Structure 1
Amino acid sequence: MTPRRRLSGTGAAMCIGVLSAILVTGCTEGSGSSERPTKRVTPPTSSQPERHSPGATDRKLGEQAEAALDTVTIDDPEFVESGLEALGDGIHTNSPLTRGKSYQLAVACAGRGKARLSVRIKDQPAVQSFDCDGTAVHQRIAAAPSRLRIDVDGEPGSSGMVAWRISEAAQ
């Protein structure tokens, strides 16, 4: 008598996997049907604009906007806070300041269209519109609150990058 070999659990699992692959391939290829393949269903596209990672154009516009903010750098003792955002995202920040001190806010937009700057010092925000032409607008903050609300939004049809910086003002 010839001894029977028993298939191990691993061997059985491998055989089942290979047989499944053969069956799936056999059922889908060369089925003899003369029908054309069905179209793939794709999800409908959204009407919302796609967010994208910054490309070369965004980087160039960002550099242009930051360059317009003068020469104060993070190493300068006057430097307080700064940022760079896509105009579509806008700037929305509550910057912590030392109450009563004077500060200088600089904002620059590089791209196309216009942006709207809103700075809330007390109850009423000071609002001004400016061009996204790479030129900075400045606003002095005298007797600052402990938190300064800054909002910058693009006007309809505008795009680009917007940079901002807060620095201590000379007394």
Structure 2
Amino acid sequence: MEKKLTAQAQSALDAVTEQGQSMIESGVERVADGVHTQPDLAAGHSYELTVICAGKGEAQIVFAPGKTAPKKAAPCDRSVVFERFTSGKALRIDVEGDAQATGIIAWRIDTI
């Protein structure tokens, strides 16, 4: 089941990624493990985070510092969630599932 969800999430992510954007970082993680990244981004530049969660429940996208972008829900129903943000120093991005969430999170950071 995990391989099937991974394929579905990755396929959905590939389908919505705009051509011409430059990928900075991406990955596929289990909801239970979450996404935890501190990307090396140029301060003051604009980026887009794309998240797709395939499975059950809901995940939360959290930026630190919080002023970068508001906390945002990512339902684990294969919905595509976009968040545009401008990077500052020492940016951290976490995507964590709620207590009942299961499945796979596919994510990607692109320059805009």
Q: Same fold (TM over 0.5)?
A: yes
Over residues 17-64 of structure 1, what are the superposed CA-to-partner deviations in whole Å (9 max), with x where a residue is unaligned? xxxxxxxxxxxxxxxxxxxxxxxxxxxxxxxxxxxxxxxx11111121
Match of 2:33 among 89, 94, 109: 89
Of the candidates 98, 103, 112, which is equivalent to residue 160 of structure 1? 103
2:48 and 2:110 in contact (8 A); partners too: yes
- Cα deviation, residue 65, structure 1: 1.4
Q: What is the TM-score of this pair, normalised by structure 1?
A: 0.58
The number of aligned residues is 110
- Displacement of 1:121 in angstroms is 4.2
Structure richer in helix, relative to its length: 1
- Out of 56, 64, 81, the position equivalent to 1:112 is 56
Identity %: 37
Q: 1:133 maps to what in 2? A: 77
Deviation at 1:117, TM superposition (A): 1.0
Q: Which runs of 5+ in 2 are unaligned?
A: none
Q: TM-score, with normalisation over the residues of structure 2? A: 0.86
Answer 1 or 2: which has greater strand percent.
Answer: 2
Moved over 6 A (4+): none
CA pair 153-58 structure 1, distance change in 2 beyond 3 A: same
The 1:147/1:62 distance shift into structure 2, 3 A limit, reads farther
Higher relative contact order (CA 8 A, sep 6+): 2
Q: 1:100 to 1:125 in 2, by over 3 A?
A: closer
Q: Which has the larger radius of gyration?
A: 1
Which deviations, in whole Å up to 9, do the C-alpha atoms of 1:75-102 show, x marking residues without a partner?
x661111011000011111111011111
Unaligned runs of 5+ in 1: 1-56
| RMSD (Å) for aligned C-alpha atoms | 2.1
